[in-house]
Amino acid sequence: MRRTRILGTGSYLPKKSLTNDELAKEYKLETSDAWIRERTGIGNRHIAAPDEATSDMCLHASREALARAGVKPEELDLIIVGTISPDMPFPAAACFLQAKLGAGPRSAAFDVSAACAGSLFALSIADQYIKSGAAKRVLVVGAELLTRIVDWTDRGSCVLFGDAAGAIVLGPEEREGRGILSTHLHTDGTQTGILCIPGGGSARPFDQKVLDARDMLVKMNGREVYKVAVRSLEAVSREALEVNGLTTADVDHVVAHQANLRILEAVMKRMEIPLEKCHLNIEKVGNTSSASVPLTLDQAIRGGTLKDGDLILMMAIGGGMSWGSALLRWSEG
Ligand code: UT7
């Protein structure tokens, strides 16, 4: 059976970073390092420069991933960016990225909107294209510049997010038993209200009411998101393992969207997977939304911890609510 393989990864973090204390001071927030750390595990986050757009962050991560994969931009069949903070409402951030890479019109380029699960949704689409033989070289990017669309007067949400991009180049796997074993995606569209930007779209176009209510910015019911996240991430991870005849004891590494350390601790505990198997960077980068999974994967690879044949469980959840998992048998060299 034809499978998909990761050929190379890359990531990008903007230069400017802010500790919790610096954040509180800069944005005049009534919060504390102790509160943020205790409730989320976050100690620091990166903030894009004023002249940086999402496609610029994508470009840095993509160039790194393509170089490591030994793939030229013009060899790409597809460029898929998971983001909800594109350069502009349209065209897609992927179109700007294609131009900046000089990939040329051989490739199709589009964005996937699944909030923090965006890069996992993009990975799943890439996997279907490669497995079916419809594409040979696909660039998947998760990139988010949420610090520009969060409400800096809402301490319950703005302290969580950081800017970043992560990129993965994918191609056909030649080796038996290696590569992406499966992906599983789900959405519960009855939960759109708990994490969204309610204004500025076709339902409620920009007007004074939208601006006064700050409804063009991210709104979140943290408690509800937390509950759905723990339940759904466990379920979709178990689904992935069961379909492949594997158990939680077979998992060597977890590469998860880092929304909140407490969410990951709860999911690992329920699944009886030691937390040490979960690659963590939330303390240093915060919740980087769609960038989180490819960024964490890239850091895990750079850290030299993945061995040939290791089983990697990936999971993510975001506004929609949308969530998913991917199981990957690591192929080295
Ligand atoms: O990628 C998905 C993105 N979203 C998430 O992952 C969010 C998941 N949810 C969470 O992580 C948590 O719900 C939060 C960290 C957002 C909030 O933690 P919580 O334990 O659910 O707190 P809460 O919203 O129930 O608020 C408890 C108290 C409130 O004060 P009162 O009403 O008890 O006096 C809040 O006003 O904490 C207050 N509070 C803060 N205090 C200091 C909320 N945010 C802050 C803050 N600093 N930054």
Q: How confident is the model at residue 315 (pLDDT cuts 50, 70, 90)?
A: very high
Pocket test for ligand 1, best of 223, 227, 231, 293 (most atoms within 8 A of CB): 223
Which amino acid makes up residue 9?
Answer: T
Pocket test for ligand 1, best of 19, 39, 321 (most atoms within 8 A of CB): 39
The mean pLDDT of the chain is 97
User: What does the alpha-carbon distance between residue 119 and residue 125 come to, in Å, rounded to a whole number?
Assistant: 10
Q: What angle do the packed helices 54-69 and 292-302 form, to 10 degrees?
A: 40
The residues that bridge with 112 in the sheet, in sequence order, are 82
Any catalytic annotation for residue 257? yes
27-81: pLDDT as tens digits: 999 999 999 999 999 999 999 999 999 999 999 999 999 999 999 999 999 999 9
Residue 77 in contact with residue 104, Cβ under 8 Å? no
- Closest C-alpha residue for ligand 1 atom 39: 156
194-238: pLDDT as tens digits: 999 999 999 999 999 999 999 999 999 999 999 999 999 999 999
Please state, for a pLDDT cut of 90, what percent of the chain lies above it: 98
Q: In 10 A of CB 202, how many CB atoms?
A: 5
253-303: pLDDT as tens digits: 999 999 999 999 999 999 999 999 999 999 999 999 999 999 999 999 999
In this prediction, residue 114 carries a pLDDT of: 98
Token readout for 126 is 């890439």
Q: Is 142 helix (H, G, I), strand (E, B) or coil?
A: strand
Please state, for a pLDDT cut of 70, what percent of the chain lies above it: 100
Q: In 10 A of CB 104, how many CB atoms?
A: 12
Any catalytic annotation for residue 287? yes
Q: In 10 A of CB 83, how many CB atoms?
A: 32
Peptide linkage before 91 cis (omega within 30 of 0): yes
Residue 60 in contact with residue 85, Cβ under 8 Å? no
